Amino acid sequence: MRVAMYYNNNDIRLEEIPKPKISSGELLVKVMACGICGSDVLEWYRIKRAPLVLGHEATGEIVEVGDGVKHYKIGDRVFVSHHVPCNNCKYCLSNHHTACETLHKTNYYPGGFSEYIRVPKINVEQGVFILTEDMSFIDGTFIEPLGCVVRGQRLANVQKDNTILILGSGVTGILHIQLARLKGVKRIIATDVNEYRLNAAKRFGADFVINAQENLIEKLLEFNNGELADRVIVCTGALSASEQALKCVDRGGVILFFAVPELGINLPVPIAEFWRNEITMLTSYGAAPQDLQESFDLIAKRKVNVRDMVTHRLSLAEIGLGFKLVAEAGESLKVIIEPQR
Residue 163 CA, distance from chain mean position: 22
Per DSSP, the residues of 211-247 read ETTS-HHHHHHHHTTT--EEEEEE-S--HHHHHHHHH
234 neighbors 226 (Cβ within 8 angstroms): no
299 neighbors 139 (Cβ within 8 angstroms): yes
Q: Which residues contact 308 (CB under 8 A, 6 or more apart)?
A: 204
Q: Which residues of 194-225 are buried (b: 16+ CB within 10 A; e: fewer)?
A: beebbebbeebbbbbbbebeeebeebbeebbe
What span, in angstroms and rounded, lies between the C-alpha atoms of 157 and 146? 16
For 306-334, the pLDDT digits (tens) are 999 999 999 999 999 999 999 999 999 99
Is the whole-model pTM more than 0.95?
yes
The pLDDT mean for the chain works out to 97
Nearest to 336 by CA among 303, 328, 214, 318: 318
CB atoms within 10 A of CB 56: 22
Three-state secondary structure call for residue 319? helix
Which residues on neighbouring strands pair with residue 31, listed in sequence order?
60
Query: What are the sequence ranges of the domains in the chain?
Result: 2-147+287-338, 157-283
| pLDDT confidence bin for 296, thresholds 50/70/90 | very high
Q: Which residues contact 339 (CB under 8 A, 6 or more apart)?
A: 2, 31, 32, 34, 113, 114, 115, 315, 316
Considering the domain 2-147+287-338, what is its CATH architecture? Answer: Alpha-Beta Complex (3.90)
For 2-27, the pLDDT digits (tens) are 999 999 999 999 999 999 999 999 99
**pLDDT for position 37:** 96
List for the chain the helix, strand, coil content (%; round to 5): 35, 25, 40
For 259-289, the pLDDT digits (tens) are 999 989 999 999 999 999 999 999 999 999 9
Counting every residue written for the chain, the total comes to: 341
Q: What percent of the chain has pLDDT over 90?
A: 98
**pLDDT for position 92:** 97
**pLDDT for position 103:** 95
Secondary structure letter of residue 84 according to DSSP? -
Residue 250 CA, distance from chain mean position: 26
Which residues on neighbouring strands pair with residue 219, listed in sequence order?
none
| pLDDT confidence bin for 256, thresholds 50/70/90 | very high
**pLDDT for position 99:** 96
For 156-203, the pLDDT digits (tens) are 999 999 999 999 999 999 999 999 999 999 999 999 999 999 999 999
Task: Tell me the fold of 157-283.
Answer: Rossmann fold (3.40.50)
**pLDDT for position 294:** 98
What span, in angstroms and rounded, lies between the C-alpha atoms of 327 and 309? 17
Nearest to 162 by CA among 189, 139, 140, 137: 189
| pLDDT confidence bin for 255, thresholds 50/70/90 | very high
Nearest to 152 by CA among 91, 88, 87, 232: 232
